Amino acid sequence: MSKVQVDTIDTRSGTSTMQIGSTNTSTINIGVSGDTVNIPSGVTIANAGTATGFGGTMTPAFEAKLSANQTVSDGTQTKVACDTEVYDTDNAYDNSTNYRFTPQVAGKYYCYGAISCVPQSNNVLSEAMVSFRFNGSRTRTSSTSFNTSNPAVQSSPFVAEVLTFNGSSDYVELWGRCDVTSGTPTFAPAHEFATYFGAFRILT
Protein backbone atom coordinates (compact mmCIF):
# COMPACT_ATOMS: atom_id res chain seq x y z
CA MET A 1 0.00 0.00 0.00
CA SER A 2 1.40 3.38 -0.99
CA LYS A 3 1.09 6.62 0.98
CA VAL A 4 0.64 10.16 -0.33
CA GLN A 5 1.70 12.88 2.09
CA VAL A 6 0.44 16.40 1.40
CA ASP A 7 -0.87 19.35 3.42
CA THR A 8 -3.81 20.32 1.20
CA ILE A 9 -5.89 18.60 -1.47
CA ASP A 10 -7.84 20.96 -3.69
CA THR A 11 -9.64 20.91 -7.02
CA ARG A 12 -7.91 22.15 -10.13
CA SER A 13 -8.79 25.55 -11.54
CA GLY A 14 -12.27 25.67 -13.06
CA THR A 15 -13.54 22.62 -11.14
CA SER A 16 -15.68 22.89 -8.00
CA THR A 17 -16.40 19.23 -7.20
CA MET A 18 -13.91 16.77 -5.73
CA GLN A 19 -14.47 13.03 -6.04
CA ILE A 20 -12.73 10.74 -3.55
CA GLY A 21 -12.92 7.13 -4.63
CA SER A 22 -14.10 5.71 -7.93
CA THR A 23 -14.95 2.40 -9.61
CA ASN A 24 -12.44 0.31 -7.63
CA THR A 25 -13.37 1.74 -4.20
CA SER A 26 -15.60 -0.04 -1.67
CA THR A 27 -14.55 1.61 1.62
CA ILE A 28 -13.10 5.05 2.31
CA ASN A 29 -11.45 5.55 5.71
CA ILE A 30 -10.87 9.04 7.10
CA GLY A 31 -8.40 9.16 9.98
CA VAL A 32 -7.57 6.48 12.50
CA SER A 33 -8.57 5.81 16.09
CA GLY A 34 -7.85 8.85 18.26
CA ASP A 35 -8.02 11.37 15.41
CA THR A 36 -10.49 14.24 15.26
CA VAL A 37 -12.26 14.92 11.97
CA ASN A 38 -13.11 18.62 12.04
CA ILE A 39 -16.01 20.11 10.07
CA PRO A 40 -15.50 23.92 10.16
CA SER A 41 -18.30 26.33 10.93
CA GLY A 42 -20.37 27.20 7.88
CA VAL A 43 -19.79 23.88 6.14
CA THR A 44 -22.90 21.98 5.03
CA ILE A 45 -22.99 18.17 5.05
CA ALA A 46 -25.45 16.95 2.42
CA ASN A 47 -26.32 13.25 2.64
CA ALA A 48 -28.10 11.43 -0.16
CA GLY A 49 -27.07 7.94 0.96
CA THR A 50 -27.44 5.85 4.10
CA ALA A 51 -25.95 7.23 7.33
CA THR A 52 -25.11 4.80 10.14
CA GLY A 53 -23.36 5.27 13.47
CA PHE A 54 -24.31 8.95 13.86
CA GLY A 55 -26.18 10.45 16.77
CA GLY A 56 -27.75 8.01 19.19
CA THR A 57 -30.59 5.57 19.59
CA MET A 58 -33.79 6.36 21.42
CA THR A 59 -33.58 3.20 23.48
CA PRO A 60 -34.25 1.60 25.90
CA ALA A 61 -37.89 1.83 24.87
CA PHE A 62 -41.04 -0.17 25.46
CA GLU A 63 -44.78 -0.19 25.09
CA ALA A 64 -47.20 -2.54 26.80
CA LYS A 65 -50.96 -2.86 26.96
CA LEU A 66 -53.59 -4.46 29.14
CA SER A 67 -54.79 -7.78 27.72
CA ALA A 68 -57.96 -8.26 29.80
CA ASN A 69 -60.19 -6.34 32.20
CA GLN A 70 -58.41 -5.47 35.44
CA THR A 71 -60.98 -5.22 38.23
CA VAL A 72 -60.09 -2.51 40.76
CA SER A 73 -61.56 -1.15 43.98
CA ASP A 74 -63.75 1.91 43.66
CA GLY A 75 -61.92 5.17 44.39
CA THR A 76 -58.61 3.43 45.13
CA GLN A 77 -55.21 4.10 43.55
CA THR A 78 -54.19 0.88 41.80
CA LYS A 79 -51.12 -0.07 39.78
CA VAL A 80 -52.00 -0.71 36.14
CA ALA A 81 -50.99 -4.25 35.14
CA CYS A 82 -50.10 -3.78 31.47
CA ASP A 83 -49.13 -7.38 30.81
CA THR A 84 -48.72 -7.64 27.04
CA GLU A 85 -45.60 -6.11 25.51
CA VAL A 86 -45.88 -4.51 22.09
CA TYR A 87 -42.09 -4.10 22.13
CA ASP A 88 -39.34 -3.95 24.75
CA THR A 89 -35.93 -3.20 23.23
CA ASP A 90 -33.82 -3.96 26.30
CA ASN A 91 -36.07 -6.19 28.43
CA ALA A 92 -36.39 -3.24 30.80
CA TYR A 93 -40.13 -3.54 31.43
CA ASP A 94 -41.52 -6.10 33.87
CA ASN A 95 -44.81 -7.26 32.39
CA SER A 96 -45.58 -10.02 34.88
CA THR A 97 -44.78 -8.98 38.46
CA ASN A 98 -44.11 -5.30 39.23
CA TYR A 99 -45.29 -3.79 35.92
CA ARG A 100 -42.52 -1.21 36.02
CA PHE A 101 -39.94 0.21 33.63
CA THR A 102 -36.32 0.17 34.89
CA PRO A 103 -34.18 1.16 31.89
CA GLN A 104 -30.64 0.79 33.38
CA VAL A 105 -29.40 3.50 31.00
CA ALA A 106 -29.11 7.01 32.38
CA GLY A 107 -30.92 9.81 30.60
CA LYS A 108 -34.20 11.59 30.06
CA TYR A 109 -37.18 9.50 29.00
CA TYR A 110 -40.53 10.46 27.56
CA CYS A 111 -43.07 8.40 29.48
CA TYR A 112 -46.72 8.08 28.51
CA GLY A 113 -49.75 6.07 29.46
CA ALA A 114 -53.52 5.92 29.62
CA ILE A 115 -56.26 3.94 31.28
CA SER A 116 -59.79 3.21 30.20
CA CYS A 117 -62.09 3.41 33.23
CA VAL A 118 -65.30 1.46 32.70
CA PRO A 119 -67.99 0.81 35.33
CA GLN A 120 -69.52 -2.65 35.51
CA SER A 121 -73.19 -3.61 35.34
CA ASN A 122 -74.29 -0.44 33.55
CA ASN A 123 -73.24 1.81 36.44
CA VAL A 124 -71.77 5.24 35.78
CA LEU A 125 -68.43 6.95 36.29
CA SER A 126 -67.82 10.08 38.35
CA GLU A 127 -64.03 10.40 38.03
CA ALA A 128 -61.08 8.79 36.24
CA MET A 129 -57.44 9.42 37.14
CA VAL A 130 -54.08 8.21 35.78
CA SER A 131 -50.62 9.02 37.13
CA PHE A 132 -46.96 8.07 37.21
CA ARG A 133 -45.09 6.89 40.27
CA PHE A 134 -41.36 7.45 39.98
CA ASN A 135 -39.46 5.32 42.51
CA GLY A 136 -42.74 4.98 44.39
CA SER A 137 -43.65 8.67 44.55
CA ARG A 138 -46.44 10.11 42.46
CA THR A 139 -45.27 12.72 39.97
CA ARG A 140 -47.66 13.73 37.18
CA THR A 141 -51.41 13.13 37.25
CA SER A 142 -54.22 13.52 34.74
CA SER A 143 -57.86 13.22 35.72
CA THR A 144 -61.37 13.74 34.44
CA SER A 145 -64.30 14.48 36.74
CA PHE A 146 -67.98 14.34 35.87
CA ASN A 147 -70.96 16.10 37.36
CA THR A 148 -73.15 13.74 39.37
CA SER A 149 -76.12 14.83 37.31
CA ASN A 150 -74.28 14.01 34.09
CA PRO A 151 -71.90 11.10 34.78
CA ALA A 152 -70.04 9.07 32.17
CA VAL A 153 -70.02 5.45 31.10
CA GLN A 154 -66.32 5.43 30.15
CA SER A 155 -63.26 7.71 30.32
CA SER A 156 -59.68 7.34 29.08
CA PRO A 157 -57.38 9.93 30.71
CA PHE A 158 -53.85 10.21 29.26
CA VAL A 159 -50.67 11.28 31.05
CA ALA A 160 -47.17 12.08 29.73
CA GLU A 161 -43.99 13.31 31.39
CA VAL A 162 -40.23 13.54 30.83
CA LEU A 163 -38.40 11.82 33.70
CA THR A 164 -34.65 11.61 34.37
CA PHE A 165 -33.36 8.13 35.24
CA ASN A 166 -30.07 7.41 36.99
CA GLY A 167 -29.31 4.32 34.91
CA SER A 168 -29.24 1.86 37.80
CA SER A 169 -32.27 1.70 40.08
CA ASP A 170 -34.79 4.35 38.98
CA TYR A 171 -38.14 3.01 37.82
CA VAL A 172 -41.58 4.28 36.81
CA GLU A 173 -45.01 2.71 37.15
CA LEU A 174 -48.46 3.60 35.86
CA TRP A 175 -51.25 3.94 38.40
CA GLY A 176 -54.92 4.72 38.00
CA ARG A 177 -58.13 5.32 39.91
CA CYS A 178 -61.76 4.99 38.94
CA ASP A 179 -64.65 6.39 40.97
CA VAL A 180 -68.10 5.06 40.19
CA THR A 181 -71.48 5.93 41.64
CA SER A 182 -72.00 2.28 42.53
CA GLY A 183 -70.61 -1.13 41.70
CA THR A 184 -67.05 -2.10 40.78
CA PRO A 185 -64.95 -0.40 38.06
CA THR A 186 -62.33 -1.88 35.75
CA PHE A 187 -59.34 -0.78 33.73
CA ALA A 188 -60.42 -2.00 30.31
CA PRO A 189 -58.42 -3.12 27.26
CA ALA A 190 -61.33 -2.48 24.89
CA HIS A 191 -60.64 -0.82 21.55
CA GLU A 192 -57.09 -2.26 21.41
CA PHE A 193 -54.94 0.36 23.12
CA ALA A 194 -57.38 1.85 25.61
CA THR A 195 -55.08 1.02 28.55
CA TYR A 196 -51.37 1.23 27.76
CA PHE A 197 -47.99 2.32 29.12
CA GLY A 198 -44.76 3.20 27.31
CA ALA A 199 -41.49 5.13 27.42
CA PHE A 200 -38.42 5.86 25.31
CA ARG A 201 -35.11 7.65 25.87
CA ILE A 202 -34.83 11.05 24.26
CA LEU A 203 -31.65 12.46 22.75
CA THR A 204 -30.40 15.61 24.45
Residue ranges covered by each domain of the chain: 61-201
pTM of the predicted model as reported, rounded to 2 decimal places: 0.75
Cross-strand partners of 201 = 109
Helices and strands: H and E segment counts in the chain: 0, 13
CA dihedral defined by 102, 104, 108, 114, rounded to 10 degrees?
Answer: -20
**pLDDT attached to residue 193:** 56
Higher pLDDT, 15 or 66: 66
In angstroms, the CA 52 to CA 59 distance is: 16
Exposed/middle/buried for residue 51 (C-beta within 10 Å: 0-12, 13-18, 19+) = exposed
Instruction: Give start and end residues of each alpha helix (H) in 122-183.
Output: none
The CATH class of 61-201 is mainly beta
Tell me, what's the pLDDT at 66? Answer: 94
